[in-house]
Structure formats: C-alpha cells, structure tokens
Amino acid sequence: QVQLVESGGGLVQPGGSLRLSCAASGSIFSMYALGWYRQAPGKQRELVATITSGGSTNYADSVKGRFTISRNNAQNTVYLQMNNLKPEDTAAYYCNAQHAVYAAQNYWGQGTQVTVSS
C-alpha cells in the first residue's frame, strides 16, 4: 500500500503563491503516476495536474501557466507550485497516486485546504 500525506495549504491573498507537498511511503514511488485534484464545496472533485513516471505533465486549462507539478523520487515527494492564485482556486486539494501498470493500485491523501481571499 501507499500512504500519502499532504502539506502546505493555507490562506493566501489573490496573486500570491503556495507550494503544496505530498510525501509518499509504503511502495516503490517511481512506479506511480501522481496527480493533484481539488474539490470546492458543492462541486465535483476535479483534476488539477498530473505527472507520469517518466515526468510528462498535464494541466487543467484553468491552471495552465500558473501551476507547476513536479516530483522528487529520491524524496518520495510530489509538489504543486501555485502562482498567481485566484479566489476560484479555493478548494481542498488532494494528492493521488496510481500505479503505472496496475491501475487498481490507486491511493488518496487526506487533503489540504487552500483558501484565496483578500
């Protein structure tokens, strides 16, 4: 099994920046594709960004150019750098790990709250 622990959320003013971290343990980290998702009150959970085992990235249109996902396999950590934050980015952010070959091996973190407000 894989255990995921997120950190880095908080309150920030519009235009500010935050960096979320997700530390993983329990399996071979490099074998997993990683992603960040978010869920605002009353809305469905949505994809924010993904990064494959090979380092390929994908972003939701709403965050493209503002957010950057990266991974450090040696530290078993995935990051989400968030710049130029907007009130619409306010949500609980969740880390996800999915095995690159065995998709049934899918895990979620507990979530970290990001609030963008003046």
**CA dist list (Å): 107 to 26, 63, 68, 74, 90:** 11, 23, 21, 19, 23
- Beta-strand pair 10-12/57-59: unpaired
Q: 69-92 pLDDT, tens per residue?
A: 999 988 999 999 999 999 999 999
pLDDT higher than threshold 90 for residue 27: no
Q: What is the pLDDT of residue 29?
A: 84
14-19 mean pLDDT: 98
Kindly calculate the radius of gyration of the chain based on its CA atoms and give it in whole angstroms.
14
- Residue 45 tokens read as 């959970």
- Residue 28 tokens read as 């071979």
- Beta-strand pair 3-7/46-51: unpaired
Q: 48-69 pLDDT, tens per residue?
A: 999 999 899 999 999 999 999 9
Q: What is the pLDDT of residue 40?
A: 97
Q: What is the pLDDT of residue 57?
A: 98
Q: What is the pLDDT of residue 28?
A: 74
pLDDT higher than threshold 90 for residue 1: no
